[in-house]
Structure 1
Amino acid sequence: MTVTAWTAAQVARKVIDNKEFFILDVRNADAFEEWKIDGHNFDYVNIPYFELLDGVEEILPQIPTDKDVLVVCAKEGSSIMVADMLSEAGREVGYLAGGMKSWSMYLEPIKVGDLANGGELYQFVRLGKGCLSYMAISEGEAAIIDAVRFTEVFTKFAEDKDVQIKHVFDTHLHADHISGGRHIAEVTGATYYLPPKDAEEVVFDYAPLEDGLTVNIGSSAIEVGALYSPGHTIGSTSFVIDGKYLLTGDILFIDSIGRPDLAGLAEDWVGDLRETLYARYRTLAEDLIVLPAHFMIMDELNADGTVAKRLGDLFAENHGLNVEDEEAFRSMVTDNLPPQPNAYQEIRHVNMGKITPDNDEQTEMEIGPNRCAVR
């Protein structure tokens, strides 16, 4: 039997297209429990590779023969070894090229919808980390919002679309992943925007992203309007694009709300979080389509792979938007905080420009699941 190398892009299509898949994850149990490849119709078995050094015969009954089988490890070496052993035992299997490292890095661009006068809005879905980035395009110009660190994905996409990146925004100072916004601005000549209240410690120049700021994209004047919405951070700022889409950053998700503690100020910021969700957002049109900067679970993906939902539906369905008693809300938020993201303090310092780790160090910082939401 031949062993197939599956790319992260191919696995992503399995997720988005709701296909069946069987994954044999040969990482240690703690790594598997913390973070794995999630799919709507994926089945799993976790057997650390060191338990398979003497052979795979004992696990063959656990490996199906009626669906695609993928062997996964951290960086691919162990999965190739196990996949070869299964192949020698007569099984048709594949391995994930680049391992979980490649899964963490992969971005799938998906069109969200059309904007005025032929414009387009794209969502870049980072399935392995739960990050969501955006590119608005109009008449040869583009704006990028909440770009992750794989900057060539965005610059290549813009090149393929024959548009010039003019504006790059971060809705807030990110703590769970390294932003690519400043670097994209440097290589393209675009203007980089960051909320001043989140930028007090940054060591680089930026354009202030403040409440009421409007930046036009293209001569068709698609407006990227800023809305101050603190709570996840004190500077968090949302966007309304073309009067149709609400980009909420890490304040509001499809199935949850943002955590207020990643700068150590949960008790201080929980009031801001409630004010944003229960007052500021309530003044907005309920037909706005919410586009967050993260998702937590696969159930938040739509059939086309996008993460998007009408604001009015979230007011009705999202539990975090339906806690009437303020003290109960405070308790729900501060008592249900998940573990901090991996290396979040170091990531904040990278995004401030204070430290410049190499690529391998950045990869290590970002390994693990997204943890920006209140449980």
Structure 2
Amino acid sequence: MTVHAMPAKQVARKIIENQPLFILDVRNGDAFADWKIEGGNIQYLNVPYFDLLDGVEEVVKDLPTDRDILVVCAKEGSSIMVAEMLSEEGVDVAYLEGGMKAWSEHLEPVKLGDLPSGGEIYQFVRLGKGCLSYMILSNGEALVVDATRMTDVFLNFAKEKGLEIKHVFDSHLHADHISGGRQIAEQTGATYYLPPADAEEVVFGFEHLIDGLTVKVGSVEVEALYSPGHTIGSTSFVIDASYLLTGDILFIDSIGRPDLAGLAEDWVGDLRESLYARYQKLTDDLLVAPAHFMIMEELNEDGSVAKRLGDLFRDNHGLNIQDEQEFRELVTKNLPPQPNAYQDIRHMNMGKITPDLEVQREMEIGPNRCAVR
């Protein structure tokens, strides 16, 4: 049997298309329990690499014969060795190229839709991290929202589409992932915008992203809506009166957490005001497109993450807590663990530190933890 590499892009397509896949994850049990490749048609077996050094015979009997088998580890080295051992036992098997580090970095572009004024909106789905970035394009121009540090993905996509990136927005100062927004602006000459309320410690120049700011992308109008609560500067965007990019304030099945700067008690009132007052004034037909998703069930059949605002008002528990004290307790007492290295990530997004690429990768490893449970 031949051992072959399966790139993250191929794994992503299998998940989006709900194809069957069996994953033998050879990381330690705690790493597997904390963060793994997820999908609706995936089966798992976690056996640490060190338990397989004496042979894989016991594992072979637990492997299926009716679906692709993928061996996964942190960086690929251990999974290659296990895959080769399985191949010697006659098992047709692949390993994840680049390991979980590559999975964490993969972005899958998905078209959300056409815009009424002409143009399109694309969502860049980071399946391994739950991050969602956006590109609005019209008449040869583009605006990028909440870009990740994998800037080549956005630059190459714009080049393939024949676009000039004119504007770059960050909806807030991110604490769970490293922003690529400033780097994209520097490389393209685009204008970089950041909410000033989040930027008191930022050490580089930027344009102020304030409530009511409107920019044109070709024939498409993008309006900023101040919506604090996840951070004090959090800002949403209404795209061509048809999409609402909510950043980390509102998700499909949950709401944003207000504590990543240690100010949950201070910001919970802002969070409620944004969700229960500012958003309530908007039309129900806006399609909500957040900056993160929490679980794979939030993905639509095409791999996108978006849902009508009216449907969220009806179905999202975080939007249906009428008692203010109950809401306050939910938000401040049901918080998941802080994201890995979130303080260092915030400092990098402020421009205060510039770690090398491997350190950046380690800073981001792990699941997305931006929502209230």
Equivalent in the alignment of 2:192: 192
Kept in 1, the 8 Å contact 2:313–2:319? The answer is: yes
Kept in 1, the 8 Å contact 2:339–2:368? The answer is: yes
SS at match of 2:157: helix
Q: Pick from 291, 296, 299: which aligns with 2:297?
A: 299
Gap runs ≥5 in structure 2: none
Kept in 1, the 8 Å contact 2:256–2:372? The answer is: yes
CA distance in 2, matches of 1:100, 1:59: 21
Q: Deviations over 1:218-263 (max 9, x none)?
A: 1x2x111000000000000000000000000000000000000000
CA distance in 2, matches of 1:60, 1:291: 43
Q: Deviations over 1:56-114 (max 9, x none)?
A: 00111111111100000000000000000000001101000000000000000010000
How do residues 220-239 of structure 1 correspond to structure 2 at under 5 angstroms?
A: 220=219, 222-239=220-237
Q: Deviations over 1:276-312 (max 9, x none)?
A: 0011100000000000000010000000000000000
Matched, 1:130 2:130: yes
More off after superposition, 8-17 vs 58-67? 58-67
Equivalent in the alignment of 2:346: 348
Equivalent in the alignment of 2:255: 257
Equivalent in the alignment of 1:161: 161
Equivalent in the alignment of 2:288: 290
CA distance in 1, matches of 2:200, 2:292: 24
SS at match of 1:249: coil
CA distance in 2, matches of 1:66, 1:314: 38
Q: Deviations over 1:109-142 (max 9, x none)?
A: 0100001343010000000000000000000100
How do residues 262-281 of structure 1 correspond to structure 2 at under 5 angstroms?
A: 262-281=260-279
Q: TM-score, normalised by structure 1?
A: 0.99
Kept in 1, the 8 Å contact 2:117–2:240? The answer is: no
**What letter corresponds to residue 111 of structure 1 in structure 2?**
K
CA distance in 2, matches of 1:115, 1:163: 16
Q: TM-score, normalised by structure 2?
A: 1.00
CA distance in 2, matches of 1:143, 1:84: 45
CA distance in 2, matches of 1:33, 1:283: 41
SS at match of 1:132: strand
SS at match of 2:167: strand
CA distance in 2, matches of 1:254, 1:348: 25
**What letter corresponds to residue 134 of structure 1 in structure 2?**
Y
Runs of 4+ residues deviating >3 angstroms: none
Kept in 1, the 8 Å contact 2:334–2:372? The answer is: yes
Kept in 1, the 8 Å contact 2:228–2:234? The answer is: yes
Equivalent in the alignment of 1:111: 111
SS at match of 1:62: coil
CA distance in 2, matches of 1:195, 1:264: 19
SS at match of 1:285: coil
How do residues 3-14 of structure 1 correspond to structure 2 at under 5 angstroms?
A: 3-14=3-14
**What letter corresponds to residue 197 of structure 1 in structure 2?**
A
CA distance in 1, matches of 2:84, 2:60: 13
SS at match of 2:246: strand
Equivalent in the alignment of 1:58: 58
CA distance in 1, matches of 2:213, 2:59: 59
Equivalent in the alignment of 2:146: 146
Equivalent in the alignment of 1:319: 317
SS at match of 2:366: coil
Aligned length: 373
Equivalent in the alignment of 1:36: 36
Gap runs ≥5 in structure 1: none
CA distance in 2, matches of 1:189, 1:94: 42
Equivalent in the alignment of 2:367: 369
CA distance in 1, matches of 2:58, 2:177: 40
Equivalent in the alignment of 1:68: 68
**What letter corresponds to residue 347 of structure 2 in structure 1?**
H
Equivalent in the alignment of 2:240: 242
SS at match of 2:61: helix
SS at match of 2:238: strand
